[in-house]
With several copies, the nearest count.
Chain A
């Protein structure tokens, strides 16, 4: 897996990749001598969904507008730092391609000196924003057919 790194003393790792998401490696990349806490969100493919219309999923197929997606991931990281100045390292990774149930598909991780610095809220904000502005789409393939999952968010000017 190749990563994009921002030139800064604070590590920002962001990537659209077809490779497995390696949590150990990503955590190590955003751990500094000054960080004692990491909040990590991962999304996995659900094989069975109960909320809304109950259904099964055979696999999800992801695609991305890769260069723009990586720019928007960097923007999400910048937004996190603007809101939580205690956040030190940030990793944002989306796996694309055909992904089967139980597979991790996305990761947002933030590190800070301590756990009471907003690091949990920062990770939560990161995944919420990724689902709003980062150009990635998924098609769900189920026993009853396939359909594109459509988001609801309309970005505003300057987003």
Chain B
């Protein structure tokens, strides 16, 4: 198993009700697998997950990316700073 840390921001954080979450994932799990896992466990963010950005260790990542061990995963809507 692979232990990861999830960080939520903006609308995703509000819908989750928490800023961060520790999670166990199967080794070799991808971002796509993580989204399915989260959709099942947290139906309240299922819709959000269709349009979120995801980062692995502070770099943007996509569905096919394999999540490395002890990764820091960010999940958030498109950015709106300035």
Contact = CB atoms under 8 A, between A and B. Distances in A.
Interface of A: 43, 62-65, 67-69, 71, 94, 105-106, 127, 130-139, 148-159
A130 B55 CA distance: 16
A136 B53 CA distance: 12
Contacts of A127: 82
What 10 pairs between A and B have smallest CB-CB spacing?
Answer: A136-B81, A151-B78, A137-B10, A68-B58, A155-B60, A149-B80, A151-B80, A131-B82, A151-B79, A43-B82
A135 B55 CA distance: 10
A65 B80 contact: no
B77 interface: yes
Given A137-B9, A137-B10, A157-B60, A150 B80 contact: yes
Interface in B5-42: 7, 9-11, 13-14
A132 B79 CA distance: 6
B42 to A, nearest CB: 18
Nearest to A127: B82
Interface in B67-82: 74, 76-82
A137 B79 contact: yes
Interface size class of B (residues with CB under 8 A): 10 to 19
Interface of A is mostly: mixed
Contacts, number: 84
B81 A134 contact: yes
Contacts of A133: 60, 79
Given A63-B9, A137-B9, A137-B10, A68 B55 contact: yes
A71 B14 CA distance: 24
A157 B65 CA distance: 10
Contacts of B77: 137, 148, 150-151
Nearest to A16: B81
A114 B11 CA distance: 25
B38 to A, nearest CB: 18
A136 to B, nearest CB: 3
A64 B10 CA distance: 9
B81 A106 contact: yes
Nearest to B58: A68
B10 to A, nearest CB: 4
